[in-house]
Amino acid sequence: MKTVQAVKFKNKQWDFISEMKDFKNPLVLVFGNRYLLESATIYDEIKELFPTGSIVFGSSSGEILGDRVYDESISLTAIEFEKSTFIVHAENVQNFNNDVVALGETLINKFPLDNLKHVFIVSEGSTVNGSSLIKGLEKNIKTGVNISGGLCGDDARFERTIASFNSNPKDGEIIAIGLYGESLEITFANYGGWTAFGPERIVTKSKDNILFELDHKPALDLYKKYLGDKAKELPQAALLYPLNLRVKGSNDNLVRTILNIDEDNNTMILAGDVPEGSTVQLMMSTVDDIAEGASKAALFAMQNRVHKPDLALLVSCIGRKLVMDQRTEEEIEEVIEAIGVQAVTTGFYSYGELSPFSGQNECKLHNQTMTLTLISE
């Protein structure tokens, strides 16, 4: 596996972190500030650098490149696989009347299943229900093929996220990268580092990712009561106080971020499903706990690996970045310490992370986690 990495800031030239190489058929991952990716020339600019590349764009809430976290930048990682291959497909939710389950099913059916090892997702993150997307993606996928990835971000604005494949980034786009090869070794894991506090409450009324009532009381009213003065800063303030979700009949705890609130209907819109009968509890964290959580995620991903990873794709939540603030890079440093400096590291801060729990096959939507996909040939 060969790679090239570069970063660019507004009105500046590309700064190549590694030497430019002549690639035949690279996968080019471009994560960046939404305003910069809205440039009408961005695709042509990358295409000029890698004329034969398969170029995947995703807006982010912070760009991960090596051991650094950049803001208001565009990061680029070009990957030339030497022993394996990849296929990229994309679909747009607007072509499916926003039926994300149908989109997911259509998207995954485009991939030949023979020798398919893994699917990495880069999805728009402002309108897509990640739980529904996973439901569609996993409908016809064969056992042993795992899914990971993330929902695009827009810093902490929650206004618009964009993504694309071989075109200028646009609204509603969902991209899937299928990885093929006998020698590919791909592992994944996620971990949060958040602590639940306060009373557990039962979800008594919800629809998909819209939460109406907890314990038969308006959920938004209860949430505002707990937040106190910080309620004036919703929905951004919700990133600091996500919900611990325990689905009835499951032993796994999921974290759900509140993406938006609907004052008119007194409801909360979450990043993924909150089934009725589940229990939820408020959560909080500290810088040290989040950094330790990133380390645990990396150690889980390294368990039982035969080879050291060549490439690390990191998707971490915008909520973690807001808590860590100027110490954000500490969680990246913890990851690199666990996986080794030989791994080329890239990724982005997101509105949702996609990955099975370590040791499981079924993909889940996570919030407030560090999620890793480690790849070697």
Q: What is the pLDDT of residues 12-54, one digit of tens each?
A: 999 999 999 999 999 999 999 999 999 999 999 999 999 999 9
pLDDT of residue 135: 95
Q: Are residues 39 and 75 in the same domain?
A: yes
pLDDT of residue 32: 98
Q: Are residues 160 and 52 in the same domain?
A: yes
Residue 275 preceded by cis peptide, ω within 30: no
Domain assignment of residue 101, given as a range: 2-191+288-376
Q: Name, in order, each residue with C-beta under 8 angstroms of 376's C-beta and a sequence gap of 6 or more.
A: 1, 184, 185, 305, 307, 308, 309, 310, 311
pLDDT of residue 251: 79
Q: Are residues 202 and 146 in the same domain?
A: no
What's the total number of domains in the chain?
Answer: 2
Q: Are residues 151 and 245 in the same domain?
A: no
pLDDT of residue 143: 77
The stretches in the chain having pLDDT less than 70 are none
Q: Are residues 58 and 187 in the same domain?
A: yes
The model's pTM: 0.93
Q: Are residues 275 and 342 in the same domain?
A: no
Q: Are residues 244 and 305 in the same domain?
A: no
Local structure of residue 252 (DSSP, 8 states): -
Residue 238, token pair as written in the block:
């919700």
pLDDT of residue 151: 96
Q: Name, in order, each residue with C-beta under 8 angstroms of 181's C-beta and a sequence gap of 6 or more.
A: 81, 83, 84, 85, 115, 117, 377
